[in-house]
Amino acid sequence: MSFSDAILFSIGVILFQNIILTNFLGVCTFFTDLYKDRPFHSMFIGTAFLITTNSVISHLVYDNLLVPNGLEFLFIVIFALISYIIIQLTEILSKRFSRFLKKNMSTVLPLIVTNCLLFGTSILTVKKDYPLNELILFCIVASFGYTFTLYVYSYIIADIDEASIIEPAKGMPIGFIILAIISLTFSGLSA
């Protein structure tokens, strides 16, 4: 994969195949207060670390352990266990060993623990069957797209909270309408 290919691939994954807006992974996190007042780089590093580790390990296990033994049908159980193990291990080990990871993880873990981001990305990448270098690029760029969308959304919703909108539209309805407009903007760039 050449450099220009990688750039085009990254732009495609951030804008047109954004994992929130086209695959609907991790939409629940948009309706919590957990992402407010969090620095962008810290959220990006935490998300990218978790997603990349999880997808690479799932990919290696699927290719080297499940496919040769004819056990592809177990992939749901195995991937779910891998994502839970990785979250718990990161929580324990980052507290103990790495101050850098601990600082960045503490902002991201509450967002990611209970949602489909990790598990869904590993299912998605196994279905698309990327080679390993493209897989790592996809995971890093997809988590950048996720954090970017979350950041844009958080700025818009902060203004919406101060505006005078009618009572029934507060909360979930206006959040979905904003997401739809962001999605429309991103998909409009593809034409």
Partner 1 sequence: MKILNSFKSYYLHKNPVFVSLLSICPLLTATSSVNTAFYMSCCISIVIVLSEVIVSMFKNIIPKDITIHFTVIVTSTIVTIVYLGTRALYPGNFALLSYAIPLLVVNCLVRSKVRKFALNEDVVRSFLDGVLTSVSIFITLMIVSIFREFFSTGSLLLGKYYISVLPKGFFPLFFGEYTGAFFAVGIISFIMNIIRHDNSAVIHEEEV
Residues that bind partner 1 (CB under 8 A): 21-25, 27-28, 31, 73-77, 79-81, 83-84, 114-116, 119-120, 123-124, 127, 167-169, 171-177, 179-180, 183-184, 187
Q: How far is the CB of 191 from partner 1 (least distance, A)?
A: 13
Q: Residues 47, 143: contact at Cβ < 8 Å?
A: yes
Q: Which is nearer to partner 1, 8 or 184 (CB)?
A: 184
Of 137, 134, 138, 124, the C-alpha closest to 25 is 124
Q: Which is nearer to partner 1, 2 or 159 (CB)?
A: 159
Number of Cβ atoms within 10 Å of the Cβ of 80: 13
How many residues in the chain? 191
Q: Residues 83, 56: contact at Cβ < 8 Å?
A: no
One DSSP character per residue, 49-88 reads HHHHHHHHHHHHHIIIIITTTT-GGGHHHHHHHHHHHHHH
Q: How far is the CB of 85 from partner 1 (least distance, A)?
A: 9
Q: How far is the CB of 168 from partner 1 (least distance, A)?
A: 4
Q: What is the CA 104 to chain-centroid distance, rounded?
A: 15
Q: Which is nearer to partner 1, 42 or 148 (CB)?
A: 148
Q: How far is the CB of 170 from partner 1 (least distance, A)?
A: 8
Q: Which is nearer to partner 1, 141 or 174 (CB)?
A: 174
